[in-house]
Every structure is written in C-alpha cells, then in structure tokens.
Structure 1
C-alpha cells in the first residue's frame, strides 16, 4: 500500500513539474517579449538637448552640434571627425573650415578651423570669395587630403582646392587648385562640393558639381591628390532639368556586400526643402539608377522624380521638427554605415545642427536611414526583438518623392489580430524577424490588390519624447521612404 502511494505521489509531482515547465516555456518563448533596458540605446544626455540655446552663440566650446553645415565625416583611430562649412547663427562666420571630433558620434567637441583666410589665388579666381564651402577629407598612404570649395555665389566662378597634413587636426599646407571653373569656359560643371571616394580597387575619385551643369565624377591621381586628367571635367552622373531644380552635395559609398556604388545628392533649398536622394550603379562612373530604375542624368519632364529619397524635412508629434535636412556625408565603420546631414530647427531655421543617422540596408540592397538621430548602439544583443510586442499606437511619416515640404506624422494603430487601424478592416501587418510588412488594400489598383511597405524594426532613442522606443524604416512598393515610431503610451489590444 505504501509502495503504491509513493508511486502515485511521484507521478503527481512529475505531472506538476511538467505542467510548470510547459507554462514557463509558453510564457517565455511563445508570448511576445519586451526588450530590456540594455537592449535600447542609452540616453544621449542627462536631460533633453535644446535646439536653440542663445547663450552659447559666442562660445565655440559649447557649440557641440550647433552651427554645422555641409559636414563630412571621417574616422581616425578611435575618433570621429567632421569638417564643415563655417557657419554661425546671428553672426558673421569666419573664413575657415570648422573641425569637430567625437568618440561616439553623439557628443561633439569643437577642435578649431583649417586656415584663417581664403588663399589669394582662390579669392582672385572667384572675384573675392571670402569663405570656404563644403569640404571633404580622406586619408591616402598616411597623409590626409582636405578638399575645399570657394565660389562666387550664383555663378560658375568656382574653385576646388587641396590641403594636406600628416595629422587630422593639422596644421594644413595649401596645395593650390584641383580644378577651377569660370563663366564662359569650355566646361559645363561648377567646381564646388568635392566628395572623395576610394573605389573597390583602391583608386581615388572625386564627385563634384551643382545645378550649374550637374554632378560629375573624375579620377584622382593617387600620388598628388589632384586630377588625373587636368583638362577634363570627368563623367556626368547626375543632373536636373534646369537651374530651377537644385542638385548639389554629392557623395559616393561602396558596399562590398552588394558590390554596388551608391551616389547621394541633395535636392531643394538649403533652408527648408533640402533633402537627400540616392541611386546606385555597378560602376563608379555610372549609370546611377534609383529604386524605380530612373537614370540620374534624366532631364525629361519627369526628372523632378528621380532619386530615391533618404531624408527630408519632417516633424514628429511633440516637436517643431527639422528643416533643410540635406548636404550629407557618408561613413562606413566596420559593418556599420552612417549618414550625416544638416538640419535646421523647425522653430528657428537659422539654427543649423549636425545630425547623424544609422543606415539600414533593405533585403534588395537599398540604403534607408533611421527616423531618429543616432544615440549609440544597445549594450546587449536585441535578439528578442524578433518577438517584441509591437501592437499599439505608432506615428508614421511618409517622405513623398515629389513633395519636399515638411512631412508630418499620422497615427498608425497595429492591432493584435494583425489588422491596421480597423480591427475588421482589410489593411493588415505581418512581422517576420525584424521585418515588418504593412499591407494596404487597393483592389484593382495594386498588384494582387495590396500595396506593401517593407520596413525594418529596430530599437532607437526617441529624441522627441526623450525615452527609448522602437522605430521602423524602409520603402514602399514604389520606392517611397516610410518611417515609424512607437508612441510612449502603448495601447493594449
């Protein structure tokens, strides 16, 4: 009798343990999980960072990201450096090129300037050009090559020069002109906005130009840092229909995973409608095609809709937003890619800041950028993101390819049953890993009756609400950039 009782007791204990184990498994592996604090970026500062801080106007040591324009970025050892056009809100800028550095691309310190005055040669050529524009810097064989622009505003009287240094912080030796253009010469290019790229074979190239003639790319002599063919402007790789449609600020990056070159340019006016577009090519000399297969040298009546938009003026809720989000730089840091650009405060466009954004690559090899500024990587792995509960209220921003005015957010509700906005509607969403697909019902219009937005979900810092959050970024079926951000108060459904 005692033996049978013991057997029954062991059986009951075994069943209880099995039931508890099953419950534990269901609770921890099949139900959505919430990311831990260490799986989000840390706060970028102790308190929210103000866009407008008038008390720092005359104190460069406190400028941080303020007064930055046309910044290009380079990593040297453990430091990130930006070189930018000298700009100052409520004051006259100096002639030099501003240098900043950072250990994390979040907290920036002002280093100083390259040069005190524009060279006699550059000033004479440009009829008195008094400031440097849009620099870029690259390291070749242990020497830093700094390319800069000087121009007479509104003309092709322009000058790209070169300075060299053994140290990224200088001092710099001016090496004179790389290329000069003049109204009435045999060139069509405007010699401004140099962007240097080392191709996959180790050869340096310079992309440059503006809406005066378009964007060109030309090979650089590795020994001198100047043009290989001094009497030629290079190959045309991007242009607009006419001077009423601005294009400038070229940069090129190479992605070895796709074996493609990516050209970024800026459209619009620098104070408000500035926006960054991208196209790609198998060859550094083009042709560069956008997401929809349009050639960037198209000058037809449809040329206003070339280039796949990466970032443009935008505003989330609880914020005045950002204007003039253009003239970008590009950085590959190991397996990670980043984009820098100008951004002017929505409530006072004269306050221009440096923004850094993480680049995410789509499954078909297109770059998109985070809707939030870079605030660092999470401390721990975000594997649990695959089962993150994304149900609830989100803000969504669609960056129109055609309309470059400020894009504002709308509310997006993701229901537990997989529906969007209406629990009984036809729009629905699916999550696979970190890829979120949004299906928009359009019978008779869309392929298979649904337009599809394909976006990547990732943990980021919410600068507008000053807390960690989830965001998404990607492209619609027609190549329109789509951003999203989960709202602070998640609605349970």
Structure 2
C-alpha cells in the first residue's frame, strides 16, 4: 500500500501569528470556496478571525497540492459601497468564484448576524488574484419583508453548461435562480425556486448550500449545513435528477419537507467528532466541493475542540458509494489515493464513529477489534469481509448495523503517523467513519 508522506504541520492555536495575516495558512478560514485555476488551488473565504478587528474584504489563499497553503491577501480593501449601504456589514461573507469565458466572477454576501437585510453582489477580474472590479447587486433581501436571505451564494453549472446560483440561509430556506453568463447576474429578477428548508422549531437552521453535478452518475448533489455554526454544525446531502430538484435524501425525503422531524431530512455525511482521547473537531460545515479530474474534494471549516473559537480550513477526499452517494474521509487530505487494499491489513483495532443524524453535538468514537478470521471481538454475530478493491462489508450489532465501507491509506493528523481509515454507510443511510489504531484492545 502507498501511504501519504508526512505533511506540513500547522498549529491552529498559534497566538504569535494572530495579527499577522501573511502567516495565516489554514488559520481563520470560515465558509471556504475552493476552485482550481491552472495548476493552482485557491480558497476564498469569509472575513473572520479570532480576536482583533476585521480588515479588507474576502480572504484569499492558494496552494499547489491542497496541503500547504499560502496567504494571498484580500479581494477588496473595503466593503463595496452598494453592499455596505444596504446592510451596514462590517465584513463580507461566504464568497464563491467561477469563470464565464475569460472572466472570473467573485460572488460575495453582506449581512448582519440574525437578520436577512442582506445583499449578494458580484465582482469581475481577468485574473483570479485580482484586482477585482465590483459590479454591484445580484440579489438583495429586506428584513421583515422578504422570505429568503440573500447570503451564501454558490454558482453551479447544469449538464448543459447553464449557470445557476443557489443561495439562502435561516429564514426562508435555500433557493435556486438561473444566471445570465453575459452579466453574471440573475436571468430573472426574483427569489427563484425553493429547494430546501427546515422547520421554525429549529429556527429554520439550514444554510451554506452547494450544488455539484456528477457527469458519470448524471445526478445533482445538494450539500447544506444544519444547525449552529458555533457547536452543532453538520453537513447533509441530497440528490436530484434535475438541477431544480426535487432533492431527495437517502430515505426519499424531499428537502423541503417540514412535516417530519427536522433532523430526518438530509443524509448526514460529517459532524463534530472525537477519535479516542485525541482532540476532536467541532461544527464542521459550510462546504464547497471540487471536481479535480476524476477526484472529488470537499472543502469546509471546522472549530478546534480546545476553544471552539479557532476555525480552520479542512480539505478531505470524497469517496463514492456503489449506489451513488458521496462519503467524506475521516482525515484531512495529505495526498492519499484510492487503491486496492490487502484484506490482511484490515485486522486490528479501530476507532469508529456513527453519525447519528439526531445527535449533532460532538460524537465520540467506540473501539472495535477486527480479528484476522473475519470476526469482530466481543461481537457474537459481528463480521467483516473483503468485497473488492478497497470495498469491504462490515456488520456490528446495534445501531451500527451492516455497512459497506471504503478503506483508504491516510495520514493520522492527531497521532502524526500514517494509518488506514474508512468511511461507509449502513442500510439505514447512517454514515460511519473510522481509523485504525496501532494497539490491541485489552482483554
């Protein structure tokens, strides 16, 4: 097996760089949008930092390998005048970058926390690092009057190459509108079509939409984040045959259904977690997705468990199930590749986490020992078996149930060594993540 090489090590809590933006790498990243331009990857993200006063408008970073990141600067020196006049925002939120022809379009949002007096604008440039020229309003909403919230724009292209903007947040839900590529603005000046929402009992807590079209599967995938970005944030996904939906989760629930329990909708692919005694992560969410050749990556932020204030950039591999669902690697990307896995390597002790869609606080791992004979220690009916390539079948009694898992050689960022990990999905659409630890369970 080929394991990734030791990656660069960043200290999330490094106080020495707090006021030195040029040293920010994965630090202070919130609501990241990932794009590839030539041989370089870029992340554009919200104006956010731990302590201090915000400056500029939209943070920009770049990388050659999705592992080592370099600060580029800010897209804007100040909040665009039209956006500031409408919202009084102190910073810009949740950007997205796309390209029509030879021109880059940078979409941004301005608002204030807890209000939908919000503004989505767009700027253009001939170069991805700018300078950017503001082109003004794409769509705006008025607090107390409009249902949608004009934040969190994402531009996606349908199978015919037509651009659409998905946007929205708490308040009215998630909406979709067609874009005119000649202007980068709405083809029709209205709120668009509602494609996802949540019940008022959970404050309608759905935001950060991102739509991916998978050309081989011929499906559209809607990623959203549920709940509070400070502690219970988690990423859900649903899919559709058409870009306008309806978007259905694993159980066939429509993402606009508010007649059922609010956590029933959406297949939960990532939430707060903790492996063993190592520091875990809180509130992963607000993702983007990059198709890079035949590889797919999810980009999101997460909060360090130690303070819950420090938020960092995460890049992870997306692995696809045989029935067409995206799963997320348990570990941040360090250069790992999918490959054939020798079944002999699977035996050993694993830390496993089942993402219960009804529990969105941090979930701790459970230990299971996979024995060389295909059985599981302390599990009378438990078993594991090789299927093909890197796919295995696993059965653990109780809520874990029967699962199809995908195994991947990866880097264990908490213990700082290579290891095997897996992600899978059980018969009920619950996602499991796990990593192998280099010790045996005590008898």
- What TM-score comes out, normalization by structure 2 length? 0.96
Aligned partners of 2:12 and 2:310 also within 8 Å: yes
| 1:117 shift after superposition | 1.3
The answer for the alignment partner of 1:145 in structure 2 is: 105
Task: Return the alpha-carbon distance in structure 2 between the equivalents of residues 273 and 191 of structure 1.
Answer: 23
| 1:122 shift after superposition | 1.3
The within-5 A match list for 1:367-406 is: 367-377=326-336, 382-383=339-340, 385-406=341-362
Aligned partners of 2:336 and 2:408 also within 8 Å: no
Which of these two proteins has the greater Rg computed from alpha carbons? 1
The answer for the alignment partner of 1:238 in structure 2 is: 196
The within-5 A match list for 1:312-327 is: 312-327=271-286
1:69 equivalenced with 2:30 (yes/no): yes
The answer for the alignment partner of 2:49 in structure 1 is: 88
The within-5 A match list for 1:442-481 is: 451-481=401-431
Aligned partners of 2:138 and 2:185 also within 8 Å: yes
| 1:388 shift after superposition | 4.0
Aligned partners of 1:465 and 1:488 also within 8 Å: no
Aligned partners of 1:134 and 1:148 also within 8 Å: yes
Aligned partners of 1:429 and 1:439 also within 8 Å: yes
The answer for the alignment partner of 1:489 in structure 2 is: 439
SS of match in other structure, 2:286:
coil
Gaps of 5+ in 1: 1-34
The answer for the alignment partner of 2:306 in structure 1 is: 347
Aligned partners of 1:86 and 1:133 also within 8 Å: yes
| One of 352, 360, 382 as aligned partner of 1:427 | 382
1:228 equivalenced with 2:187 (yes/no): yes
Aligned partners of 2:171 and 2:203 also within 8 Å: no
Distance 1:183 1:140, change over 3 A: same
Aligned partners of 1:260 and 1:282 also within 8 Å: yes
The within-5 A match list for 1:242-391 is: 242=200, 244-377=203-336, 382-383=339-340, 385-391=341-347
Distance 1:123 1:372, change over 3 A: same
**Across the two proteins, how many residue pairs are aligned to each other?**
441
Task: Return the alpha-carbon distance in structure 2 between the equivalents of residues 337 and 116 of structure 1.
Answer: 33
Distance 1:114 1:454, change over 3 A: same
Task: Return the alpha-carbon distance in structure 1 between the equivalents of residues 370 and 204 of structure 2.
Answer: 39
CA RMSD for the aligned pairs? 1.8
463-472 or 170-179, which moves further after superposition? 463-472
Deviation track 1:30-50 (CA, whole Å, cap 9, x = no partner) reads xxxxx3xxx0111112xx533
| 1:188 shift after superposition | 1.8
Gaps of 5+ in 2: none
Q: Which has the higher strand share?
A: 2
| 1:245 shift after superposition | 3.9
Q: Which has the higher helix share?
A: 1
